Structure formats: structure tokens, C-alpha cells
Amino acid sequence: MRVMKIAAIVAAAPALPQAASFSTVPHPQIQQRRPTSASALSMSVPNSFDTLTSGLASIARLPFGVTVSSDAKRMQGSGNDDLTISLLYDVENDMDDCRLVRERISELDLIVKTVVPAAPNSRVFVDPSYEFALPEGSEIPRLVLEDGETFAGSEDILAYLDETFAVEGAGSTSDNGESDAKGQIVDATLNAASYLPGLLRAGRGQQVCSAASASSKLPVPRPTKSLILYSYEGNQFCRLVREVLTELDLPYELRSAGKSSPRREQMAQMTGGSSQCPYLIDENTDTAMFESADIIRYLYKTYALWTPPSELLESASDVVTPLFKPIYQKLAPIQAGANGEDTASYDAAIAKAKSEIEDETNSNTVVIYTYSLSPFCTEATDLLDNLDIKYKEISLGKEWIPGLIEEPIKRAALGEMTGQTSLPHIFIGGKSIGGIFSGTPGLVPALEEGTLMRPHKEYTATALQPVCLHNWITSSLA
């Protein structure tokens, strides 16, 4: 990861409206739309499969949105004059229209002073007090000029972009009928291909995740100064970052930096030689960084209530938990020796294990019982780590399979105490909340409901002030 301090190299970015002070009570005007678990958890940190499908999405749209076009007015002069758009409402993965607009913005090498993510559950549509609020049902994409003139829909926006920022007549077509016929075939093929990126990236960049939802019961940390993103539409890694910006509902300044863009030389001067995209600048924390994976983790860590866990594991949990729960409940006491002849020894061992569990869970604020080989347990501890929550991890072995479990008695005792024998098993303030995706109510459901939170940071004009978390455990057990 390459991270740089930017105070000395970047001019001040235009400020967004001052973020509201943090409160545990949602704004009364915000429509309370609690997302379903499926929509909330389809937005974890991108993995290698996401990188692959994003790459295929870029290939499907070649050569669009990659190289600055020869008909761009910016390329006709010295290349040093930035051409800007004031405001663009956008949804990263809307299947077609928004993508066509972003492709042309890259080809014309434009700067968009403010890109406002406008997913259906964005602040744009659910918070009337939001600076960029629109009436529900407003057409997206939507371009707003400095004087307030508005263009809605890709056709009108593209016409404006070409008329304003492209050399006149550069895109004229031939009068030859045969050429026109071939052109129509090509156009039809390209139009069909324009839907492939949306299909390949289905589920990403379409909705605001629950970790950043305006309807959350907890205050979501927001930047007071606009984020700045150097990006171009056809880059698979830039797409991953823009998807997360949509999912976190974060407005940003877009600085196009496609191939042949003079802006790449400017980037190299700022960064000491690199013109790699994506490149994120955040003056709120005096940070700048390359690498999509690092940027995305940073965005979740800084501007979300938590980092969503793997949606693949969540889907697997939906299948595995109800299927295997009765099996686990019957198997746990058998593995612990309940069917043996010496029932008194078994009962004594269970009583001792229960006492140990009570001591462990009452002497530590957060306790998690795990298996070292379980991906669910690893995901749960990673989530707690990302939340900056201190916890005590107690391993019961490698897995529940005979020969791999090391403390079957304690597992059986957990089952008798709580009814849950599967791991991970999380206790807060001495009481069980279950596993990562399910339980009473489970770690992720508790986060979605706002009964658990991390020690988030409140962004002020002077410093980052940590907010005390001494009340969150009490509230979770109320």
C-alpha cells in the first residue's frame, strides 16, 4: 500500500456541506428503510472474483471510456486547461445510461466537481435535508450546470457534452448507404454489449449498504471536504472503487485521467512519478493512496459504521445454519461423552465448563469462541477488528469434526447454556448474541439494527475526535 500525506501537494478541494453532529437518533425527516439482509450484505470488500468480473466488464465495453478522444476540445489546445462540469447525479451500476455518460466524460477528459451517488436508497431520495436531495422518481443520470440548468437522461446529457466539450462535426457519419448499414449493425452490437457490465457486476454499485445507510439508527461518519478521485471509466480497478463510493453514499470530485490524458502528467508531478489509477485524495485525513483494495478498505474504515463481511459466507450461512443446527445440537453432547456410562463425571465436567464460560464472559467485555479453521470464525474476528473492538478469543479447536475439536465439553456446555453449539459464538457483557449472521440477534444483525457500534470518529474542522463507546454494550443488552 502506498499512502502519502497530501497537505503540501494538493490544493484545497471544494468543501461539501458541513456534516451534521453525530447523534444516536436518526433525523426525523429521513424515511426509515431498513434494508434486507441480502441487500445489506451484498457489498463486502471486493475479492478476486470481483476483480475478474470487473475486468470482463471493461473488456465488454472496449474501446469506450479508456482513451481521451481526438475530438475532445481539451486536446486541441495546450491540454492544461481543465474543462469542468458542476454536478452529476450517478449510479455506478445502473445497467446502461449512467455508464454511457461516464464513458464520454472520460473520453472528453473532464472534471466533475461533484459526483453525487444517487442509488434508490441514497440520501438523495430519503433525506429531504440533504444538500443534494431530489424528489423521489427523479431521472438519473442527471447533469446540473453552474446556473442551475439541468439535463436528465443519457441522451440529453451526451448531446450537451458533445456540443460543449467536443470539436464540432467530429462525429459525423458517412452518407454511403452501405456504410450506414454496417454502422447500424455495429451500433446494435455495441448497444447489446452495453448491458454486459451491469450483468457482470450485478449487486454492486446499485444500493447504499446498511453500514452507511441514511436510515441507520447510528450516525454515519461523513467527510466535510470532498473526496477526490482520479479515475477513468474503462479501468476495472477504478470501477471497484466507484462502486463502493455509491454503496457508501459518498459524493466526490471526479478527475478523469484516461490514457493520453494530460492530467496523468500532473498526477506524476504530484505523486513523485506515478500516474496510476485509481488515485484517491482525502483532505479530511490528509491522506492519498493508490491501489483499489487499499482505497476500499480505507473508505469502509473511515466512512462506514462497519466493514460488511463476505456475502458468499452470508449466503452459505443461510443454508448451512438451519440445515445443520439440529445435527450440531445432537452431536455436541455425544462428542463430549454424554452417552458414556459415567454420567456423574460428564455432569461434573459440564458444570465445570459452564463455570469457566461464566468466568470468561463476565471478566471480558467481548468474548468470541472460535474454531481456527472456520471461515465464519475468521470473518467474525476480522469484523470485530475492523470495528476496533477489543475482544478475547477462545479457540475450541480447529473444527467441530471429531479429531479436530479440542474442547467438546465446553462446546456442549455452550449448547446447554444458550441453545447454540455452532461457532463462532459471541458474548457481550456476559450475554450471548449468537454467531456472525444469526443468533440473538447475531453480530451483523445487531450492527444493522444499531444496537452495536464501533468507536467511530467524528470529523471536525480541527481534528478527528474519538467518540466514547461506554454506552453501546449497555444499549445492546437493554
Q: Is the per-residue pLDDT at 469 higher than 80?
A: no
Mean pLDDT for the stretch of residues 96-123: 95
pLDDT at 392 over 70: yes
pLDDT level of residue 315 (50, 70, 90 thresholds): confident
304: Cβ contacts below 8 Å, ≥ 6 apart: 209, 211, 212, 220, 221, 248
DSSP 321-360: HHHHHHHHHHHHHHHHTTTSS-HHHHHHHHHHHHHHHHHH
Per cent of the chain over pLDDT 90 is 56
Q: Does 467 score more than 90 pLDDT?
A: no
The per-residue pLDDT of the chain, averaged, comes to 82
Query: What pLDDT is attached to residue 460?
Result: 33
Range with top average pLDDT, 321-335, 340-354, 449-463: 340-354
- With CA atoms as reference, report the closest residue to 154 among 204, 209, 98: 98
147: pLDDT strictly greater than 80: yes
Does the structure show a pLDDT above 90 at 291?
A: yes
**pLDDT (average), residues 99-112:** 96
Structure confidence at residue 341 (pLDDT): 77
Residues 6+ apart with CB under 8 A from 193: 60, 61
CB-based contact 353:409 (threshold 8 Å): yes
Can you give the pLDDT at residue 279? 97
For 472, list phi and psi in degrees, rounded to 5: -70, -30
Looking at residue 294, its pLDDT comes to 94
Q: Distance of alpha carbon 378 from its chain centroid, rounded? A: 19
Distance CA(167)–CA(75), nearest Å, equals: 10
Q: Is the pLDDT of residue 74 over 90?
A: no
pLDDT band at 337 (very low <50, low <70, confident <90, very high): confident
Per-residue confidence (pLDDT) for residue 189, from 0 to 100: 63
In this predicted structure, the answer to whether residue 302 has a pLDDT above a threshold of 50 is yes
Q: Mean pLDDT, to the nearest integer, of 430-438?
A: 93
> What crossing angle do the helices spanning 97-107 and 154-165 adopt, rounded to 10°?
10
Instruction: Report the sign of the C-alpha dihedral through residues 343, 349, 352, 357, in that order.
Output: negative
Give the tens place of pLDDT for each residue, 169-201. 654 333 444 456 665 665 666 666 677 888 889
Look at residue 12 in the predicted model and tell me its pLDDT.
Answer: 36
Grid look-up 506515478 returns 274
Q: How far is Cα 6 from Cα 283, in angstroms, rounded to an integer?
A: 7
Better pLDDT: 43 or 368: 368
Per-residue exposure over 377-415, b if at least 16 CB sit within 10 Å of its own CB, e if not: bbbbbebbebbebebebbbbbeebeeeebebbbbbbbbb
The single-letter DSSP state of residue 134 is -
Q: At what angle do helices 408-418 and 343-363 cross, to 10 degrees?
A: 70
Query: In the prediction, which pLDDT does 158 show?
Result: 97
pLDDT category of residue 325 using cuts at 50, 70 and 90:
confident
What per-residue confidence (pLDDT) applies to 171? 47
DSSP string, 66-129: TB--TTBGGGTS-S-S--EEEEEEE-TTSSSHHHHHHHHHHHTT-EEEEEEE--TTSHHHH-TT
Terminal-to-terminal C-alpha distance of the chain: 42
228, 286, 282: which is closest to 257 by C-alpha?
228
pLDDT (0 to 100) of residue 43: 60
For residue 349, what pLDDT band results from cuts at 50, 70 and 90? very high
Comparing C-alpha atoms, which of 381, 229, 213, 228 is closest to residue 303? Answer: 213
Q: For the residues 101-115, what does the mean pLDDT come to?
A: 97
Query: At 36, which amino acid appears?
Result: T
